[in-house]
Structure 1
Amino acid sequence: MTENNNDFNNNLTNGTQPDEASPSINEVNNVPVENTVPGQSSQQPPQPQDESYYMYNWDGAKQLKPKKKKRAKIFAATVIICLFLTISLIGWSVSMGYIPNPLVDNSSDISAVSEEDTSKDIPEVIKINDENLEYTSDLTELYERVKNSCVTVLTNTSLGSGFVADENGYIITNHHVINNAKTITVTFYDDTKYTAELIGSDSISDIAVLKIEGSGFTPIDIGNSDNLKIGEQVVAIGTPYSIELAGTMNMGIISGIARNIKVTNDAGTVVKTMTLIQTDTSINPGNSGGPLINMAGQIIGINTLKLMNEYEGLGFAIPIKNAVTIINTLIEYGKVEERPDDDFVTASPRLNIIVKTVEDAISSNMLDLSFDPPSGAFVIEVSRRSAIYKAGLETYDIITMFNGVEIDSTDALITELAKYQAGKIVSIKIFRINRNGSGGEYHEFSFRLDSAE
């Protein structure tokens, strides 16, 4: 198994897995089932779409006495005049297009894909230094070069490490170090403390950017991890186990390059594959987010996880060359929506829906129709937090096409989904059954695939 190096958060991911007890149903997320299905009547009135709503009742206050008839007549006349003016104004607004006409369908298919131009060049706040710096064999000298660029990251729930990325106070660490943190403190090895602001974080790449206010910060030199060779000596500096051990340095070598490590959630489902640097340098809980440094004093990796149980000397770090793209994106936008071309992570996609075949839905009396519906994946549940829901998918829709490929069963949908990774934009075509079960209509929309994390 893989384990990140957070004393309190022992897994990079969490999630659920399909319900194996229901072989005819493919479950992707556990959400409440709607009570009303197409073609079936319901005794319950429609409920608001919001997950929370309010009901009001009289509070028992003393009622006012009726007014005299004369005043009532004047009031009634005033109401009639106001009502006439209101109706006239609404009619004019509808004719001018300010208010949509309920008798005319002006709707269009919905897309959850942002229209913002994401192709713009991201400013290179953090840059790689491709110059060949002088290597040293003196470990004491090496430590003196970099110690002022290394920090401890302490939150209300976890302990980790980090490093100074530029003189303006940008601090880099792992996402799992600061995940769900209410307070973040950055402490240098001379015990100088700063309250940190979270600029952005990406759970898929496990990278977070913090910001501290001040001056005189010493950024670490950013090396090029593409130039690494197996057998090259490196050191890891961080805060393993306890704040009392801040500034611990361990030495090792590059044991492997471009190792594809599968990361699983609590259920054992693979949620992503990370291409990482392998090292035998001792990486312990608390080292997460700290730098893996070459003998020239350059960071070439971000320590992130190690294999546990019976294994020893198997630590892994994010290659800094690929991390820089994520870091600059987080500095600019605060999040990573579109995965970069040089991404080191392949995240498994997730639709966050539960589906079954149309035939199963009919045979189980979920559908009572007066026509033959198209084949496809019948949606019985959809998470309201998912991208596919925000794009327009509704419960009891039938998915008939996924990214241009015809879908005639749930297995076909699963097969097509597996061809893509999280963050990719895909399109689906659905058939929506009308309320009386006598027919329906097709809709198409696009969205960005959610991550299985």
Structure 2
Amino acid sequence: MKQKDQLLWIVMISFWVGAVVITGVSFIKSPAVTTQFPNRIQEVLPSVVHIQCDSWQGSGVALTEDIVVTARHVIDGLNYTITLNDGNTVRGIQAITHKDYDVGFIRVEEAVLTPAKFGSVKDCVLGQSIFIIGSPYGKVNFNNVTLGIISGLDRDWDKASYYGEPYGWKIAFTSDAGAHPGNSGGPVFSMDGIVRGLLVGGYSPVLNCSMPSDLFLNDVEIIKLMFLFEKYKTEEIKTGYGYFEGYSYAPK
């Protein structure tokens, strides 16, 4: 390189550096790699389950050591196999469903579940980050994680029913985290690892609907008692959000 060209480059570089100093321009460093979110996922995974029934499958999350909460429409058939995060399975022996909302509960034959932490969606705000864990398109995608935000609160999706019958989605919130068939009943976590709701359906992979945990937060003890009843089909228990009804679908 000729001496003249070298001097020209030196002048240009000096001018550029000076401009950066004078204008206060600073370089943006790449964000540090954080393990906080992956660690949070590992913390909550033991509470998430896959549910296989006679003709359908879905997702769920442990409410107690022997009760799984899921979507009402996942509870279908007579035989249920619950797969835990470690790959072990346990049989479901009883179920309770909400009469008005898309929420249901399955009791398993052994107290081997790892309960999740639950909280009210009323403590969340529009645009807040959430993540969903479930089994989209079946057990092959067990414990699939998607990340998004709460895109809508206080939605009434029963008004949008295609079939003229309510889905049980009258009290709902929406998110843009990816979800597909098989995610139904899976937990929607806030970033602190608290279950704020259950994924139940959607219009597209990034516009989905969830039932808030508020529908059963204050009724856990009632749900436990209902599982002790012998005649499920005749029993209805009124709660703050309506009625629960139960039935036994497998021998104790």
TM norm structure 1: 0.42
Which residue number in structure 2 is paired with residue 132 of structure 1?
Answer: none
Counterpart code for 1:341: G
8 A Cα contact 1:208 1:327, kept in partner? no
Counterpart code for 1:157: S
Aligned length: 204
- List runs of 5+ in structure 2 lacking aligned partners: 1-33, 244-252
Which residue number in structure 1 is paired with residue 206 of structure 2?
Answer: 313
Q: Secondary structure at the match of 1:274?
A: coil
Counterpart code for 1:191: G
8 A Cα contact 2:185 2:198, kept in partner? yes
**CA apart distance, 1:297:** 0.8
Cα distance between partner residues in 2 of 1:223 and 1:271: 23
8 A Cα contact 1:238 1:291, kept in partner? yes
User: What pairs up with 1:243-392 in 2 under 5 angstroms?
Assistant: 243-262=139-158, 267-270=163-166, 274-308=170-204, 312-325=205-218, 328-333=221-226, 337=236, 339-342=238-241
Deviations 1:200-231 (A, max 9, x none): 12242122111223345321111222201111
TM norm structure 2: 0.72
| Sequence identity percentage | 23
**CA apart distance, 1:263:** 5.4
Counterpart code for 2:206: G
**CA apart distance, 1:266:** 6.5
Change (3 A) 1:232 1:259: same
8 A Cα contact 2:103 2:211, kept in partner? no
8 A Cα contact 1:199 1:331, kept in partner? no
87, 104, 107: which one pairs with 1:211? 107
Which residue number in structure 2 is paired with residue 153 of structure 1?
Answer: 51
Change (3 A) 1:341 1:137: farther
Counterpart code for 1:284: H
Change (3 A) 1:222 1:269: closer
1:165 aligned onto 2:57:
no
User: What pairs up with 1:158-237 in 2 under 5 angstroms?
Assistant: 158-167=56-65, 169-179=66-76, 181-237=77-133
Structure with higher Rg: it is: 1
Q: Secondary structure at the match of 2:38?
A: helix
Deviations 1:253-295 (A, max 9, x none): 1111111212576643557661111111112110111100011
8 A Cα contact 1:200 1:331, kept in partner? no
Change (3 A) 1:264 1:231: closer
User: What pairs up with 1:36-185 in 2 under 5 angstroms?
Assistant: 138-167=36-65, 169-179=66-76, 181-185=77-81
Which residue number in structure 1 is paired with residue 9 of structure 2?
Answer: none
Deviations 1:383-435 (A, max 9, x none): xxxxxxxxxxxxxxxxxxxxxxxxxxxxxxxxxxxxxxxx7xxxxxxxxxxxx
- List runs of 5+ in structure 1 lacking aligned partners: 1-135, 344-422, 424-453
Q: Secondary structure at the match of 2:202?
A: strand
Counterpart code for 1:156: D
RMSD: 2.5
Cα distance between partner residues in 1 of 2:167 and 2:134: 27
Counterpart code for 1:333: M
